[in-house]
């Protein structure tokens, strides 16, 4: 039987072991991928696709050095000699287009890892695409090196947008660059009769938390607007627009009626109990909303900020879309201002994950400032001033993040009201605290929170770079030096990179379910993917991990979600800071 199987698509496969070599430099046969290894052992996955109907598999394996034993759980194993094995499964059947996938476990005692150099499947040589066969290739970094120094900020900017593609929920577009992801959560909103597909999975999980997602969209848009030249230089304008639009398209769907907005899909604890790919989720994904009877001023105002900022991004690109977003932004802001409460009192499931600790005053100011910037309507400037006074926002900010927007308000007020010293003074006082009073790790990274310390360093680096460019300040050089130092620590100055897939000794085990799961999916749902000691099978290019403890120590541990989780909000200001550094370099 010839031409039985062919691989015509790119599925998720272990990307870190494609070119394993043996005793004499032998390369691993390209239809097998090592997904984990430990002393004297490794697991490998085989993957192709059928083009005809058949029943029964005989697979002959050749190794380049002796193997002690081999496990094949789906059938029987015959050891011809120490380098030749025959796997048989008489009941394995397939239809055209079916995936033919199985795993083996190899045990050896020699000093050199045995490599599979030959595979004969049902009489066909399937190694390295011989004859009618082609094999899946690992996803390579789609972002080319540019030669920029001291770090390739342009390449990492590109990679950061690739990370957002890995976080997409819903029906994926044809130009999706992350090949190991597929369509997922296509029934979101069916429980309430609305189409709530799309948007972003929050972090290493699969919940769509609207509050941090809206912050992410706002800050990504901010970077596109105020560091446009850096995006243009790096050829990332369209990717940045796509990243913002993936969120804003979802927000427009989530605005389902007057003063009604769906702010979360997925239940936190049920989701976090599932370690698997979003494509295979089976748990219920309830939809949660705010409305006049259960309001959420912070969520509504932050979403208004995101849509207003995005309307500026798209004003010259798609004026109709920009106008649509601005209309919804104005209604959401009115909702936030008229029916006041913190959103986590209404969407109570969010309280365990993204509780609104700072209240909603900062979002009322922040949202009004973005609407004023987008519309020029003085009424929004007055709303922003009123919130500034009512909630005493001009002092005490010690970070800038998804919950606390005060430092962002300082910046926007400084831009929009340059003749008012109060706002400029607040911005400079905030940065003075960050530079001179905040704690630092031994490596020199500002340390503002145990959870996601890297994210906070990147966030204040962005504020510093923005202030250096737009803050009408005498501290431009100081702010830029501080910010570049922080970003360089994240990229490698600490001795290793904190960005997956970039630089020296980057994280290989981010706390991220989807990238930890190899094919076939069954290998993930049994708990193996979370606990196996090897790297994640898929490289989550561009993701910024949580980061070190205050003493500077860091462990690349998949189960350490405090230090090794990734999240959409972690990369938001980091992305803008990279664009700013592209401009400077």
Residue 84's DSSP bridge partners are 62, 81
- Which residues, 6 or more positions from 438, have their beta carbon under 8 angstroms from its beta carbon? 398, 446, 447, 448
Residues 35 and 518: beta-carbon distance below 8 Å: yes
477: Cβ contacts below 8 Å, ≥ 6 apart: 468
Unique residue bearing structure tokens 């400084």: 414
Residue 520 contacts by C-beta under 8 Å, 6 or more apart in sequence? 45, 47, 99, 101, 102, 103
Nearest Cα to Cα of residue 543 among 486, 490, 488: 490
d(CA 49, CA 99): 4
Tell me how crowded residue 283 is: count the other CB atoms within 10 A of its CB: 13
152, 556, 563, 569: the active-site residue: 556
HSE at residue 255, side-chain half, CA atoms within 13 A, is: 25
Question: Which residues contact residue 174 at a Cβ distance below 8 angstroms, ignoring those fewer than 6 apart?
Answer: none
CA distance 48 to 29: 13
Considering the candidates 60, 349, 565, 569, report the single residue annotated as catalytic: 565
- Please answer whether residues 120 and 60 qualify as being in contact, where contact means their C-beta atoms are separated by less than 8 angstroms: yes
How distant is the alpha carbon of residue 169 from its chain centre?
11
Q: What is the DSSP letter of 141?
A: P
Q: Quick count: other Cβ atoms within 10 Å of Cβ 149?
A: 8
List 20, 255, 272, 511, catalytic entry = 511
The three-state secondary structure class of 454 is helix
Q: Is 511 one of the catalytic residues?
A: yes
Which entry of 124, 152, 188, 205 is annotated as an active-site residue? 205
Cα–Cα distance for residue pair 91/161, rounded to 1 Å: 44
What distance in Å separates the CA atoms of residue 441 and residue 452, rounded to the nearest whole number?
14
DSSP-based three-state secondary structure for 90: strand
Answer yes or no: 556 catalytic. Answer: yes
> ∠ at Cα 325 (324, 326), nearest 5°?
95
Query: Rounded to whole angstroms, what are the CA distances from 506 to 144, 250, 276, 493, 559?
Result: 17, 32, 23, 12, 17
Structural tokens at position 414: 């400084």
What's the CA dihedral at 324, 327, 330, 333 to 10 degrees? Answer: -50
Residue pair 407/399 in contact by the 8 Å Cβ criterion: yes
Measured distance CA(376)–CA(373) in Å, rounded: 6
Residue entry with tokens 């360093």:
457
Distance CA(161)–CA(177), nearest Å, equals 10
* CA–CA gap between residue 211 and residue 200 (Å, rounded): 12
Please confirm, yes or no, whether 64 is among the known catalytic residues: no
Catalytic residue numbers read: 205, 511, 556, 565
């Amino acid at each position: 039987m010839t031409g039985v199987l062919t691989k015509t698509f790119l599925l998720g496969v272990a990307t870190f072991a494609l070119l394993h070599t043996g005793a004499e430099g032998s390369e691993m046969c390209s239809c097998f991928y090592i997904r984990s290894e430990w002393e004297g052992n490794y697991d490998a996955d085989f993957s192709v696709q059928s083009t005809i109907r058949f029943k029964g598999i005989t697979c002959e394996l050749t190794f380049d050095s002796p193997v002690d034993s081999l496990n094949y759980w789906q059938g029987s194993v015959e050891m011809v000699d120490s380098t030749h094995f025959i796997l048989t499964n008489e009941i394995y059947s397939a239809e055209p287009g079916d995936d033919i996938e199985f795993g083996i476990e190899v045990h050896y005692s020699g000093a050199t890892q045995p490599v599979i150099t030959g595979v004969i499947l049902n009489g066909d040589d399937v190694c390295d695409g011989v004859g009618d066969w082609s094999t899946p290739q690992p996803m390579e970094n789609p972002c080319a090196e540019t030669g920029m120094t001291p770090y390739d900020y342009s390449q990492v900017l590109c990679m950061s947008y690739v990370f957002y593609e890995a976080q997409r929920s819903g029906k994926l577009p044809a130009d999706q660059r992350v090949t190991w992801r597929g369509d997922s959560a296509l029934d979101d909103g069916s429980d309430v009769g609305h189409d709530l597909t799309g948007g972003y999975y929050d972090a290493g999980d699969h919940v769509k938390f609207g509050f941090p997602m809206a912050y992410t969209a706002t800050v990504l848009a901010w970077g596109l607007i105020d560091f446009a030249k850096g995006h243009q230089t790096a050829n990332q304008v369209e990717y940045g627009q796509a990243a913002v639009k993936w969120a804003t398209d979802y927000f427009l769907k989530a605005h389902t009626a007057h003063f009604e907005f769906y702010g979360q899909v997925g239940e936190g604890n049920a989701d976090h109990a599932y370690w698997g790919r979003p494509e295979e989720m089976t748990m219920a994904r309830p939809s949660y909303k705010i409305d006049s009877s259960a309001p959420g001023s912070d969520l509504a105002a932050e979403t208004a900020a995101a849509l207003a900022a995005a309307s500026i991004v798209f004003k010259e690109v798609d004026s109709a879309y920009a106008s649509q977003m601005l209309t919804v932004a104005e209604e959401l802001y009115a909702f936030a201002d008229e029916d006041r409460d913190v959103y986590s009192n209404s969407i109570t499931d969010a309280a365990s994950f993204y509780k609104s600790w700072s209240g909603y005053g900062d979002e009322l100011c922040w949202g009004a400032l973005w609407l004023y910037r987008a519309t020029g309507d003085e009424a929004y400037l007055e709303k922003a001033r009123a919130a500034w006074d009512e909630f005493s926002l001009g002092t005490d900010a010690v970070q800038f993040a998804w919950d606390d927007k005060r430092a962002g308000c300082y910046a926007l007020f400084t831009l929009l009201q340059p003749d008012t010293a109060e706002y400029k003074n607040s911005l400079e006082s905030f940065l003075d605290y960050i530079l001179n009073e905040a704690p630092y790790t031994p490596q020199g990274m500002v340390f503002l929170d145990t959870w996601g310390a890297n994210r906070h360093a990147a966030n204040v680096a962005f504020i510093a770079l923005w202030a250096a460019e737009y803050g009408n300040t005498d501290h431009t050089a100081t702010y830029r030096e501080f910010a570049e130092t922080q970003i360089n620590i994240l990229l490698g100055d600490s001795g290793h990179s904190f960005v997956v897939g970039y630089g020296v000794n980057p994280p290989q085990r981010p706390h991220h379910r989807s990238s930890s799961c190899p094919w076939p999916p069954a290998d993930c749902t049994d708990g193996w993917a979370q606990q196996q000691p090897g790297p994640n099978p898929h490289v989550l290019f561009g993701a910024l991990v949580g980061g070190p403890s205050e003493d500077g120590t860091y462990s690349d541990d998949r189960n350490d979600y405090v230090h090794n989780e990734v999240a959409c909000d972690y990369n938001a200001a980091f992305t803008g800071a990279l664009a700013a550094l592209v401009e400077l370099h």
